Amino acid sequence: MVLRVGNASGFYGDRFDAVREMLTGGELDVLTGDYLAELTMLILGRDQLKDPVTGYAKTFLRQMEEGLGLAHERGVRIVANAGGLNPAGLADALRALAAKLGLPTRVAHVEGDRLPATDGVLAANAYLGGAGIAACLAAGADVVVTGRVTDAALVTGPAQWHFGWGPEEYDRLAGAVVAGHVLECGAQATGGNYAFFRDHDPEVLRRPGFPLAELHADGSAVITKHPGTGGLVDVGTVTAQLLYETAGARYPGPDVTARLDTVRLTQDGPDRVRIDGVRGEAPPPTLKVGLSRLGGFRNEVVFVLTGLDIEAKARLVRDQIEDALATSRPRDVRWELVRTDRPDAGTEETASALLRLVVRDPRPEAVGRALTGAAVELALASYPGFHVTAPPGRGAPYGVFATSYVPAADVPHTAVLPDGSRMAIHPQVRVRELEPVPEPDLPDPLPEGPARRVPLGRIAGARSGDKGGDANVGVWVRTEEEWRWLVHALTVDKLGELLPETAALPVTRHVLPHLRALNFTVAGILGEGVASQARFDPQAKALGEWLRSRELDVPARLL
């Protein structure tokens, strides 16, 4: 008895026609869509300040203008977290759409994740599990929309409903969590953003299809995609996604804590990867809460420095701007010189470097006219060739994302069924406090021998991402010999050498032998989170690729 669960969205703004592709491309029982991220909650919060009836992902509603009919024809249930801050509002809009289309679509929603917000907080949302989704499906819902649930809950909920799993069937639930984590980011599991993309035909990766999981009653799953779609599914693409935005061996959630150090991946044929062996434990007693608030105001100017004397030009304009800002100096002033210039360049653009100035302050006036005027007034009074990439703006508010934790019993998790009745979803009775997993026994290191200095990416893949102000960098290799080298060579100290931005920050290394992977958590590198844009790469998407480009001594036998 297999449950086929597909994904058609990894974020708010993902490929619009993926819903149609997944509903028409092959067999499917449930179609999921993940529309929420930390930044999305802030965007939806700002939307709702302007119009209280909004606060949900409008794209999903437009996709359902065709998707409801296709799903009805094929008997596919739809589960999405597109409700954002207003799942009840989205459910009402879907019922109106179904009536307009003449479809007997039964809509349910899950609520209770939105908690009272304190001063300055736009939205406070607890991460719910899949039990509310399961209750809605059991009551006959064709479409279930939620607010903030864990990304994996979009899969654990349908699995609990379909297989009738009890709340303490931890291994089965953990298997569904792992499958859900692989699916949640859409095409990242089918060759998108893949470190080893050059090993494959470029035509295959031009338009990756979206993934689906064939779930089994024992909690195992096969990750695959619809026949004839682009992209690829292999152990590498699934490993990369498993490492994305995770941390230690224990991956906690409201339904179960999944042990990532027990996951085993096996190639099960072309574009098929089997996941099994996953062990689970009782979930922690608390739920994570995401807090989105306005952090202040921000402005930015990028000066273009062309030709000779780049460093001297940068010093001149920096001194001029600093003088102009002296009386109303913003709280945070950051300069970054990006040397994109080349000597004796054949085009003006390749002869130019970029000097980026970012200012932040609680006072809008400190980042508005004060900076704009200072930059504009230098147009004829600064370095030779003065110009900027765009006229400076007036400044804009920026967001901050933070997390806290509350007892699960304090969150009113509620399933609102298709007939309008309400069902309270009670938290797990058995819980287990999280604790670190002891580092496993390491394999013997490779014998000493000749080495060559090459980029780490010659043999290792990586994928990185953000969690609030922290970043994770997952690194994996494909053979046992490579693993014997990597696990001893890539220590926390070595990471600090290769990525100097991490050297002064708290870094934790997690060892996952079955995946031949190391997962590093770098605390605080993203400041106050993606919305604050404190870093050139605010979501740490390319941190792993920077690491892969760094050179170190690699045994010649591995090359």
CATH 3.30.70.360 fits 297-394, yes or no: yes
For 215, how many CA atoms within 13 A lie in the half-sphere containing its CB? Answer: 33
Cα–Cα dist 461/371, whole Å: 42
Q: Name the strand (E) or helix (H) holding 424.
A: strand 422-424
b/e string for 284-316 if b means 16 or more Cβ within 10 A?
A: bbbbbbbbbbbbbbbbbbebbbbeeebeebbeb
393-396, long-range: CB < 8 A, 24+ apart: 393/299, 393/300, 394/299, 394/368, 394/369, 395/297, 395/298, 395/299, 395/364, 395/367, 395/368, 395/371, 396/297, 396/298, 396/299
Cα–Cα dist 160/147, whole Å: 19
Q: What is the pLDDT of residue 46?
A: 82
Query: Among 528, 449, 526, which Cα is nearest to 481's?
Result: 449
545-549, long-range: CB < 8 A, 24+ apart: 545/195, 545/457, 545/462, 545/464, 546/499, 547/456, 547/457, 547/462, 547/464, 547/473, 547/475, 547/495, 547/498, 547/499, 548/195, 548/455, 548/456, 548/457, 548/460, 548/461, 548/462, 549/455, 549/456, 549/457
Note the pTM of the prediction, 2 decimals: 0.93
Query: Among 243, 145, 142, which Cα is nearest to 185's?
Result: 243
Q: What is the pLDDT of residue 369?
A: 87
Q: Name the strand (E) or helix (H) holding 474.
A: strand 470-476
Q: What is the pLDDT of residue 538?
A: 85
Q: What is the pLDDT of residue 174?
A: 98
Domain limits, the chain: 3-284+404-424, 297-394, 451-558
b/e string for 337-360 if b means 16 or more Cβ within 10 A?
A: beeebeeeeeeeeebbbbbebbbb
Q: What is the pLDDT of residue 212?
A: 98
Q: DSSP character for 426?
A: P
Cα–Cα dist 554/489, whole Å: 9
For residues 147 and 85, is the Cβ–Cβ distance under 8 A? yes
For residues 113 and 91, is the Cβ–Cβ distance under 8 A? no
What are the average pLDDT values for consecutive 10-residue runs of the chain, which has 559 residues?
Answer: 97 97 98 92 85 94 98 98 97 98 98 90 93 98 98 98 98 98 98 96 96 98 97 98 93 97 97 98 97 89 97 97 89 94 96 95 90 92 96 86 93 98 95 93 95 98 92 97 98 97 96 97 86 78 96 96
Q: What is the pLDDT of residue 534?
A: 67
Query: Among 27, 76, 91, which Cα is nearest to 415's?
Result: 91
Q: What is the pLDDT of residue 274?
A: 98
